[in-house]
Chain A
Amino acid sequence: MWPRDAALLRDVGLVCLADGIVGVSFGAASVAGGLPWWVPVALSLLVFAGGSQIAAVGVVLGGGSPLAAVAAGAVLNTRLFPYGLAVADVVTSDEAGAGGATRGPRLRGAVGRWLVRLIGTHVITDESTAFALRQDDGTRRRAAFWTCGIALFVVWNVSVLLGVGLGSALHDTSAFGLDSTFPAVMLALALPTLTSRPIRVAAGAGAVIAVALTLVLPAGLPLLAALGGLGTRLPGWRRMLRRPPRPRGAESAGATVTEDELTAGGRR
């Protein structure tokens, strides 16, 4: 399962380092904002999708309802559906092609196979999908996906725990500027996706709607209202729907997401 591929290990290590810093700041800012320690910890274990965790906690810390927090987090995580299609072959690893069984996690029997699938499904992220799609043969795809997925899960949860400890230990957290890290992370995640004028217009409109309504509406609602900014994209989607469907290539990978789109989609 573990590759002896130095370049892959180095890249995974760099991604882990970046996400670890985000994890520390997420844990610290969550408890510094007044949430109990188990909220960021449980989110990291059960949701394991950084952007949506930060969004959900951000909504709640802004005074929004848990329902609004769940809705915001869920919208962000819809992208995991096309990712799941793209890496389906490495998640459902055992019956996959030549050499597959030797490089997938070695758990035998029906129960073991299901366990591998369930764990593999949970570690589908921006990063593990991007690493998998970068490889060309099945064995390397599987190694890249699992190495990145498992390493990130461990690093993310450990770093959030560290952050929780750090946040609890600091007395005056506003002096350390931790409250700036949430919006900074979200901005850094979103900026690479602002690649065309229409999406910039939609995002700008959404931001104006959200900030204006925050001054008057209960927290959480303005955020969902921001999705109204998507209305500016309607003409573009209509054009796309009229276009004939794409030929079904890339059958083996079930790939509907290209690596370029993924990396443009940014980190978690």
Chain B
Amino acid sequence: MMPMTAIGALGVLTYAFRLTGPLLRGRVTVPAAAERLFADAATVLLIALAATAALTAGHDFAGWARPAGVLVAGVLAARRAPFPVVVVAAAAVTALLRLAGVH
């Protein structure tokens, strides 16, 4: 469950990140190392999230249909397929596998 306070908190934090730049306008530059840290942390988090969301459900393996769909999406994304194609392909592969009895 996601209570309204949590949504509000994420909203406030996000707005604060957005606002700091314009407020500091022209007075600071972000050290390159810090900028890389932000970018790397986001990448690591996204990949970890993608992996857990693709492979696990609760504390268990999610089954084969979902990871297969995500894998196809990953291959398409790596080949620079348009974003909508990537998303629709993921759902379609998973749905077709389930239709065929693979779960």
- Which A residues contact B (CB, under 8 angstroms)? 17-18, 21-22, 25, 35, 39, 42-43, 46-49, 51-52, 55-60, 62-63, 66-67, 69-70, 72-89, 91-92, 117, 120-122, 124, 174-191, 193-194, 199, 202-204, 206-211, 214-216, 219, 222-223, 226-227, 229-230, 233, 236-237, 240-241, 243, 245-246, 248, 251, 254, 256-257, 261, 265, 267
Which A residues are in CB contact (< 8 Å) with B78? 191
A204 to B7, CA, bound (A): 29
Which label, helix, strand, loop or mixed, suits the secondary structure of the A interface?
helix
A56 to B99, CA, bound (A): 29
Interchain CB contact under 8 A, A254 and B26 = yes
Which B residues are in CB contact (< 8 Å) with A51? 42, 46
Q: Determine which of B1, B22, B49 lies in contact with A183 in the assembled complex, contact meaning CB atoms within 8 Å.
A: B49
Query: Which of B43, B66, B88 counts the most chain A CB atoms within 10 A?
Result: B43
Residue of B nearest to A245 (CB): B31
Interchain CB contact under 8 A, B33 and A237 = yes
Interchain CB contact under 8 A, B91 and A207 = no
A174 to B99, CA, bound (A): 10
Which A residues are in CB contact (< 8 Å) with B13? 70, 73-74, 77
Which A residues are in CB contact (< 8 Å) with B65? 177, 180
21 CB contacts below 8 A, A to B, read A43-B2, A55-B49, A56-B6, A57-B2, A58-B53, A76-B42, A78-B42, A79-B38, A81-B20, A83-B21, A84-B21, A92-B25, A177-B66, A177-B95, A177-B98, A180-B54, A184-B50, A191-B77, A206-B48, A227-B41, A265-B39
